[in-house]
Structure 1
Amino acid sequence: MPYDLATTSATTAKRINVSADTLAANLIKRNVKSFRESASFATLTEKAATNNVIHPSYYEQYEVKRGLRNSNGTGVLVGLTQIADVHGYLMNEERKVPTTGKLYYRGIDMTDLMRRCQEEGRHGFEEVAYLILFGELPDMTALEGFQELLDTSRSLPRDFTENMILKAPSKDIMNKLQRSVLAFYSYDENPDDIGVANVLKQSIELIARFPTVISYGYQAKAHYFDGKSLYIHAPVSGIGTAENILHMIRKDNQYTKNEAEILDLCLVIHAEHGGGNNSAFANRVVSSSGTDTYSAISTAVGSLKGPKHGGANKQVKSMVDDIKQNCHNWHKREALKDYLVKILKKEAYNGEGLIYGMGHAVYTITDPRAELLREKAHELAREKNAEEMFNLYFHIETITKEILCEMKGPDFTICANVDLYSGFVYELLGIPEELYTPLFATARIAGWCAHRIEQIISDNKIMRPAYKSVSPISDYVTLNQR
């Protein structure tokens, strides 16, 4: 017999001293669970799966470039940017010619920029964020001014930590980050103004706040879901982004100079990667509609959350854990090679046939980010007495190249991508796995904001690509005749 949920909840609540809202929510949860387990829901699931299949031949018939990729693997050209250039191959009469990978931020080689910062003994993320946003390297005065702007914006709005993070914790920090970005709209006196000055103000605040949000989001998750003590440390002025993250996620606030330098390197190499990556493109698509900054950036966060994008380093760690558990004598080269072959043949790990951390859509011979991270991972592994684990990652890289050349021919090229070593570096730094992808977002927010500003200024035409309908025309059938 049908019942009135609100009335039933209120009546029962009086007897057991539970709020009507809480009881109603529990009743809804039970009803939803019951519905999901019913035969009717199974039928609906089958219909949804069956009636949304598009035959693969249609994509060839209509020359649809799936994934916005050309037949030779290159990306479909959909826009222009001055922010970054990802260089991984040359084109010779429509044929890709592998070449050493390069990543340029505003025309400056990212590797050179990072090495110069390290040689001078300073962190590079704030300088890179300035370069990406404003299109030029800052002098000392400009850099100090920018760092001060970030410091004044690192704290969250009044009551935000309690109401948005502690009262609504999430098991997934990326989910909490996305919800927090949207919530910032309510704390902004002028959220819908898309003039350059206002968007720049919002951008600087987001770049400054991301470290605080992910740190507090992690602490809330660790406390409410894992039963650990809750530590909420205020951000500190004058120490920069990398050190603030380590300061806020650790209960004792302690970290070494080398740990901060390596985390800063991770932030620099993840700060930007051109307009064609999934999250930057999603941000530009949404920005082209004229919507607010928070809507556009939250879309980018949602994109990065996906395991095919920012979540890939967690896939690497999961694969490595599987190798250690199921590949006996994994430290022996031949045993590891045999197991990697099984993974590629879909006979081991998750059955996907992929060696995670290997291969990239653009880079062919080398990924410059992976080159820098490999070097630092080895340095850190020696410091942490973890060289055996480093050797496992390194052998995964070299043996996978060997196996694929044997399978596909000697001219086949593949390189380690940034995800092969980034999770390992985070693990050596003692950073929880839940923060791997949020750290990626904390770096990439600089690039997302730059792409949004460039989109608003240079290309204000709304993006509207075409989809070919392959659904047959049919007549409407009245309800009693179906």
Structure 2
Amino acid sequence: MAEEVRIKNTGLRGVAVADTKISFIDGEKGILLYRGFRIEDLAQKSSFVETAYLLLNGSLPDEKQLAEFSAELVKARRLPDFINESYKRWPAQADPMDVLQASVPLLAMADEELEDESREANVRKAIRLIARIPALVAAWHRIRNGLEPVAPDDKLSHAENFLWQLLGHKPAPEFARELDICLLLHADHTFNASTFACREVVSTRAHMYAGVAAGVGALSGSLHGGANARVVKMIQDIAGERDLAGWIRNRIDQGERIMGMGHAVYKTTDPRAVILKQTSEKLGKKAGNESWFKLLTQIEALAVKEFEARGKPTIKPNVDFYSGSVYHMLNIPNDLMTPMFAIARITGWCSHIIEEKFAEAQGKPALYRPKAEYVGDYCGPVGCEYRPPEARK
């Protein structure tokens, strides 16, 4: 047997695999940029739709461009009829992420521009996906609960329309605005696992929907999506806990995670978490339910103090720590919180897919083909000798 070889860069951590103009992270300083714009400025002054235009096209739209882009998104909201009819035959207990991943190829089947790989056609496909991923999540949620899907309302904003189609009643504008900010904050985050999955798949010259389906699959894994739902479960499990500091110490002593704390890239507070903390507080006050926000701030303060005492001062809240409470206050079920991630990240996925598809023109190889370090058996310089079953011991 060959001597064991340790691969230094397990998981490609710290390995640059491609160039991008879409987003940038400075993990030491807690900075996130979309196309050069600070996430804090966009969250305060922009909207999810305007930010989607920015990520897809490389610049902020003027008034006419924004109106046209918004109109295209509204026009694309309606799902093909066969999807809703198909959903009625699917098992009601199916995981929403499995449903979403299975639904993306259904959208591909209905796209007349599927084989058109021009940049213009890919942008139009991206618009349809951004508009329809929320519709898929909302339709499945209603159908699994024995309800009919709700038709989109063309007068509502992107966030308002999703809540309308999901819950069946028009949301208060201020609640929809807070959801809009959440979607904006989750829209992109450089080469995370799901984004890399999208880019790797389309590097084979597969179409956009194939890449997006891969992204949904990657996001469904417990090490990527779903952390916000686990934060909600953590809050529910410790409600009424009298010794929070002791609970936190015990978790850390046992090697368990404090959900929503720490990040693979940020060595300080995730800038998105700062904004979502404010959002959680505002929604709690508007909803007349500040208990979750107060509990989260207590956990944050105690956990940061405990980590600092253990020589781990870089473990701070990430984007998931407060986002789960925001979605909970918007009446979004726990098992839809990872699909909510996809509703936002579809914008970044499509932007990266388009960038990947046209990177070859700038000299990038057409296909990702990383090298693996073989650490298995050799049985000699020419390989192992095959022996029939009766000769094996």
State the TM-score bracket (shorter-chain normalisation): over 0.9
Residues in 1 aligned to 2:388 and 2:121: alpha-carbon distance in whole angstroms: 53
2:159 aligns with: 242
2:325 aligns with: 424
From 178, 185, 202, give the equivalent of 1:269.
Answer: 185
Q: 1:292 corresponds to which letter in structure 2?
A: H
1:281 aligns with: 196
Kept in 1, the 8 Å contact 2:96–2:339? The answer is yes
1:67 maps onto 2:28 in alignment: no
Secondary structure of 2:261's match?
coil
Q: CA deviation at 1:203?
A: 1.1
Residues in 2 aligned to 1:79 and 1:232: alpha-carbon distance in whole angstroms: 41
Residues in 2 aligned to 1:395 and 1:243: alpha-carbon distance in whole angstroms: 32
Residues in 2 aligned to 1:361 and 1:86: alpha-carbon distance in whole angstroms: 12
2:223 aligns with: 308
2:89 aligns with: 167
The alignment covers a number of residue pairs equal to 382
1:181 maps onto 2:84 in alignment: no
1:184-199 → structure 2 map (5 Å cutoff): 184-199=107-122
5+ residue gaps, structure 2, are 379-383
Secondary structure of 2:24's match?
strand
Residues in 1 aligned to 2:290 and 2:176: alpha-carbon distance in whole angstroms: 20
Residues in 2 aligned to 1:195 and 1:116: alpha-carbon distance in whole angstroms: 32
Secondary structure of 2:31's match?
strand
Residues in 2 aligned to 1:204 and 1:383: alpha-carbon distance in whole angstroms: 32
Kept in 2, the 8 Å contact 1:278–1:303? The answer is yes
Residues in 2 aligned to 1:138 and 1:344: alpha-carbon distance in whole angstroms: 47
1:397 aligns with: 300
Q: 1:248 corresponds to which letter in structure 2?
A: Q
Q: 2:16 corresponds to which letter in structure 1?
A: L
From 371, 381, 386, give the equivalent of 2:284.
Answer: 381
Residues in 2 aligned to 1:133 and 1:83: alpha-carbon distance in whole angstroms: 8
1:49-60 → structure 2 map (5 Å cutoff): 58=4
Residues in 2 aligned to 1:368 and 1:222: alpha-carbon distance in whole angstroms: 37
1:50 aligns with: none
1:310-389 → structure 2 map (5 Å cutoff): 310-324=225-239, 327=241, 329=242, 335-346=243-254, 353-389=256-292
Residues in 2 aligned to 1:193 and 1:272: alpha-carbon distance in whole angstroms: 25
Kindly report the root-mean-square deviation, in angstroms, between the aligned alpha carbons of the 2 structures.
1.8
From 16, 22, 25, give the equivalent of 1:77.
Answer: 16
Structure 1 stretch 439-448 or stretch 380-389: which is displaced more? Answer: 380-389
Kept in 2, the 8 Å contact 1:357–1:420? The answer is yes
Q: 1:465 corresponds to which letter in structure 2?
A: P
Could you give the per-residue CA deviations for residues 328-355 of structure 1, whole angstroms, max 9, x where no partner exists? x2xxxxx101110111112xxxxx5111
Residues in 1 aligned to 2:32 and 2:185: alpha-carbon distance in whole angstroms: 9
Secondary structure of 1:281's match?
helix
Q: 1:109 corresponds to which letter in structure 2?
A: R
Could you give the per-residue CA deviations for residues 271-301 of structure 1, whole angstroms, max 9, x where no partner exists? 1111x20011111111111111111110001
Q: Give the number of the structure with larger relative contact order, counting CA–CA contacts within 8 Å between residues 6 or more apart.
A: 2
1:476 maps onto 2:386 in alignment: yes
1:452 maps onto 2:353 in alignment: yes
Q: 2:151 corresponds to which letter in structure 1?
A: A
1:115 maps onto 2:25 in alignment: no
Kept in 2, the 8 Å contact 1:192–1:293? The answer is no
Q: Kindly, what percent of the aligned residue pairs are identical? A: 36
Q: 2:215 corresponds to which letter in structure 1?
A: A
Q: 1:456 corresponds to which letter in structure 2?
A: K
Q: CA deviation at 1:177?
A: 1.1
Could you give the per-residue CA deviations for residues 176-207 of structure 1, whole angstroms, max 9, x where no partner exists? 11111011222223423322222222111111
1:434 aligns with: 335
Residues in 1 aligned to 2:295 and 2:67: alpha-carbon distance in whole angstroms: 42
Residues in 1 aligned to 2:7 and 2:138: alpha-carbon distance in whole angstroms: 46
Deviating 4+ runs (over 6 angstroms) = none
Q: 2:11 corresponds to which letter in structure 1?
A: G
Residues in 1 aligned to 2:286 and 2:204: alpha-carbon distance in whole angstroms: 50
Residues in 2 aligned to 1:434 and 1:446: alpha-carbon distance in whole angstroms: 21
1:231 maps onto 2:148 in alignment: yes
Secondary structure of 2:81's match?
coil
Q: 1:78 corresponds to which letter in structure 2?
A: V
Residues in 2 aligned to 1:309 and 1:220: alpha-carbon distance in whole angstroms: 27
TM-score by length of 1: 0.76
Q: 1:419 corresponds to which letter in structure 2?
A: D
Q: CA deviation at 1:146?
A: 0.3
2:75 aligns with: 152
